[in-house]
Amino acid sequence: MAKFIKKNDGGCPAINTASLPDIVFMILMFFMVTTSMRQTEHLVMVSLPAASEIAKLERKDLSSYIYVGTPLPKYQGKYGTDSRIQLNDSFRTIDEIRDFVAAERESLSEQDRPYMTISIKADKDTRMGIITDIKQELRKCNALKILYGANAVE
């Protein structure tokens, strides 16, 4: 009678890596599509004040940002240490806020224009006079939905 002997060569089969580049490419494409990049470079230092009542924006794409604060150290030689207004990627004056709001309004679709929100992110040490001047200019150009940036109190 013959014996059937199973020979065990002791090795595991190699893992097939043929589909690995496809998987890596799909993951790369996923992150490229879902990641949002920072839209503006901060030119001013903004330390937001604390707030007890906070509401999140529903649609950030409908908001335009006005930053108010002390210029970064590399810009203080040119602009000084007094609070400055940043619109998009440059320092601006209060008189240029109307043009900024008009341009931001034009970039939105017709049905989204009534929902445009202006978000003011001001340093906690900024004088209230600058904020009042900004609010007056926003009132003149009929941008009445204003949001103030703040940190949550824990």
CA distance 138 to 147: 12
pLDDT, averaged across the chain: 89
Instruction: Report pLDDT digits (tens) over 42-100.
Output: 889 998 988 888 888 888 889 999 999 999 999 999 999 999 999 988 899 999 999 99
In three-state form (DSSP H/G/I as H, E/B as E, the rest C), the secondary structure along 97-131 is HHHHHHHHHHHCCCCCHHHCEEEEEECCCCCHHHH
Percent of the chain with pLDDT over 70: 92
For 44-152, CATH gives 3.30.420.270
Q: Where are the domains of the chain?
A: 44-152
Global pTM reads 0.73
Percent of the chain with pLDDT over 90: 62
